[in-house]
Amino acid sequence: MNHYVAGNGDQQIKMAVDISTNGFAWTRGFTIQEDGTKLPIPNGVSDATGDIRQMSLERAINLQRKSIHIVTKIELFWEDITTREIEFKKIGARYIFDDGTDGHKEFNTPDQVINASGDFSVVYLLMTVKLD
């Protein structure tokens, strides 16, 4: 599990997501509490690039023991499966957290890259970061 020490201050923790792909990509962020309660992050949505510009999550103290779960759906829209497979292998992702006790921290590898359709046309990236 990826960790980010947010601390117990009043400052806002910031997050950004940078997806690199030539396909259409959409990203959405969620907070998940320890009991499994899951809530979409307001403004934690991307346009068709999959990128989320740096945004405030919440006050650090309110994020203690919560997890940030980030889902990216990518549509590789080329008819040729060889091209789609090449694009699948090129997908990149950066998850960036700021202003916590850990300061600036980047995670460059998603937890999971799932070829959901089996033919590289629909791909999901999943990333979860536990905040302490």
Look at phi and psi of residue 113 and say left if phi exceeds 0, alpha if psi is from -120 to 50, else beta. Answer: beta
- Interface with another protein (CB under 8 A), residue from 45, 103, 106, 108: 45
Contact assessment for residue 51 and residue 18, using Cβ atoms and an 8 Å cutoff:
yes
**Minimum distance of another protein from residue 10's CB (angstroms):** 26
The Cα–Cα gap between 99 and 63 comes to 13
Q: Which residues bind another protein (CB under 8 A)?
A: 1, 19-26, 28, 30, 32, 34, 36-38, 40, 45, 47-51, 67, 69, 71, 73, 75, 77-83, 86-87, 90, 92, 111-112, 114, 116-118, 122, 124, 126, 128
